[in-house]
Copies of this chain bind each other. A is one copy, B any other.
Amino acid sequence: MARSLGRIFRGFQSLGSLAFMKSELSNPPASVSLKSMVQTLPSVFSSNPRDFSLPNPSWGTEMRQLYEHYNSQCEAVTDGGEEQSGLWKRLPSYNRSLKYAAGGVYLSKIIQAKARLFTRNIRDPGAAFEYVIFANKKEQRCVCIFQAGHLLEGPPGNVHGGAIATMIDTVTGTHACVHSGPVMTANLNINYRSPIPLGSTVLIESSLDKKEGRKTFISCKVTSADGARLHTEATALFVSISVGQLMKG
């Protein structure tokens, strides 16, 4: 049961403007019985859903090298079954989430038949958002390696400003969840400094600015893979919500 629960909550990472995740850094929200939620879930999460944050053949050299760089510093489970600590933790990423019943306080249709996470709605590897997020618990920061596919075009040959905003929301929202539990995006303030060419790999690095009551403030920057070119800077504000609010909408 504990394993299933962990798997379900990890599925909530990268949800965008209303994120919801259980992690080692936050206490589980107490306002709803998590156990009862889990018991009503169908087996979709237990049938090994695809983790989109694992390497695939579309990843270019920069994407792979950066992935290896952070993955080699991650916590891992040894052959003996023991947990080995690490500086970083790779966060898995799925394309489905739970549906809540609008107007109800219970999950009416547990899994939406057609709904897919916006950043994972295209299965063709390399065509759209290829990304993986690593969290650094000790330093309270996250890093995302993002390879922008040809379906994300805005200006000719470059990534759409909305696709960049989407990744910023995703990374900062995931970070806020890791730190504060269930949150909702309240503000995104994005400064675009230089365009990102389609096909390129960039780094998105977020850091925790402060937490004041229900508010979590995160900063973020997008740079070229070598860090030399600044593409985008942003601040984000998230507000903590209860599981009850998530259910009620």
A residues near B (Cβ < 8 Å) are 15-20, 97-100, 102, 112, 114-119, 121-122, 128, 150-170, 173, 184-192, 195, 197-198, 246, 249
Contact = CB atoms under 8 A, between A and B. Distances in A.
A102 B157 contact: yes
Contacts of A173: 161
Residue from A117, A128, A153, A197 having most chain B Cβ neighbours under 10 A = A153
Contacts of A117: 153-154, 160
Residue from A122, A162, A249 having most chain B Cβ neighbours under 10 A = A162
Contacts of A19: 154-155
Contact of A154 (B15, B156, B158): B15
B163 A166 contact: yes
Nearest to A234: B188
Contacts of A166: 160-163, 165-166
B158 A169 contact: no
B121 A157 contact: no
B157 A161 contact: no
A160 B122 contact: no
A160 B118 contact: yes
A37 B102 CA distance: 51
Contacts of A163: 16, 118, 162, 166
27 contacts: A16-B160, A16-B162, A17-B160, A17-B161, A17-B164, A18-B158, A18-B161, A97-B153, A97-B155, A97-B156, A112-B157, A112-B198, A115-B151, A117-B154, A118-B152, A118-B154, A118-B160, A119-B160, A155-B246, A157-B249, A161-B166, A161-B173, A161-B185, A162-B162, A162-B169, A165-B188, A189-B190
